């Protein structure tokens, strides 16, 4: 009995020493982010337009001359009828002596030009600086393992004390249960 009590006391002391204080976990982080953007845009637009305004005028005059012989009035034949393209019919006195065509052409050309120029220049400068600072401090306490150690230690000690105090009735009860199980199995 003395050895059992010493064993229980040593076990309880060992369990109590293993339970340390809770640990604190701390984490510090700091981030600094600097973004810098510089932008320079130059846009030059040069537009030139040229329009040709040349005018052409053409005139054409056609003169047709027909010469007839003097008409033969004794024969009693009607005068001949001549069709000229684009102008119509001509009736003459007698037979045709000669046909003369004169063409007069006149070309008139006026040259002209229209010019238009435009120049556009655009400059744009832009600078942006962005600074972001982020600081994080996290401190948390880990769960308390001491509480569970105390609960387990107290329950082991309580079981051992109950076994020592009531060992005879407990062992008798266990022997009866095991004997009943042996009869059932045989």
Rg (CA), the chain: 66
What letters, b where the CB count within 10 A reaches 16 and e where it falls short, cover 100-117?
Answer: eeeeeeeeeeeeeeeeee
Distance CA 89, CA 114 (A): 49
How many whole angstroms from its chain centre is CA 131? Answer: 26
Query: Which tokens in the block code for residue 14?
Result: 């060992």
Beta-carbon neighbour count of residue 84 at 10 Å? 13
Going by C-alpha positions, the residue among 20, 17, 48, 5 that lies closest to residue 142 is 20
pLDDT, one tens digit per residue, over 77-94 is 666 677 766 666 776 666
3-state secondary structure 92-105: CCCCEEEEEEEEEE
Tell whether the model's pLDDT for residue 180 goes beyond 60: yes
Q: What backbone torsions phi and psi does residue 139 show, to the nearest 5 degrees?
A: -130, 115
Give whole-number Cα distances, 60 to 84, 96, 103, 105, 106, in Å: 17, 26, 7, 4, 6
**pLDDT band at 176; cut points 50, 70, 90:** very high
Average pLDDT of the residues in 55-70: 80
Tell whether the model's pLDDT for residue 113 goes beyond 90: no
Distance CA 174, CA 168 (A): 10
Sequence-distant (6+) residues with CB within 8 A of 40 are 123, 124, 125, 126
pLDDT, one tens digit per residue, over 121-153 is 888 877 777 777 777 777 666 566 677 778 888
pLDDT at 179: 94
Tell whether the model's pLDDT for residue 19 goes beyond 60: no
Tell whether the model's pLDDT for residue 72 goes beyond 70: no
Distance CA 8, CA 16 (A): 12
Handedness of CA 84, 87, 91, 92 (dihedral sign): negative
**pLDDT band at 184; cut points 50, 70, 90:** very high
């Amino acid at each position: 009995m003395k050895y059992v009590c010493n064993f229980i006391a040593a076990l309880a002391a060992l369990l109590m020493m293993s339970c340390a204080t809770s640990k604190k976990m701390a984490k510090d982080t700091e981030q600094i982010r600097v973004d810098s953007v510089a932008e320079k845009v130059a846009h030059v637009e040069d537009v030139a337009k040229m329009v040709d305004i040349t005018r052409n005028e053409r005139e054409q005059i056609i003169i047709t001359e027909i010469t007839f012989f003097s008409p033969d009035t004794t024969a009693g034949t009607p005068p001949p009828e001549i069709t000229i393209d684009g102008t119509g019919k001509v009736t003459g006195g007698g037979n045709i002596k000669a046909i003369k065509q004169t063409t007069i052409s006149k070309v008139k050309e006026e040259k002209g030009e229209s010019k238009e120029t435009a120049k556009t220049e655009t400059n744009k400068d832009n600078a942006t600086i962005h600074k972001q600072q982020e600081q994080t401090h996290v401190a948390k306490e880990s769960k308390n393992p001491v509480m569970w150690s105390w609960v387990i230690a107290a329950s082991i000690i309580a079981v051992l004390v109950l076994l020592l105090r009531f060992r005879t009735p407990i062992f008798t009860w266990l022997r009866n249960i095991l004997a009943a199980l042996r009869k059932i199995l045989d």
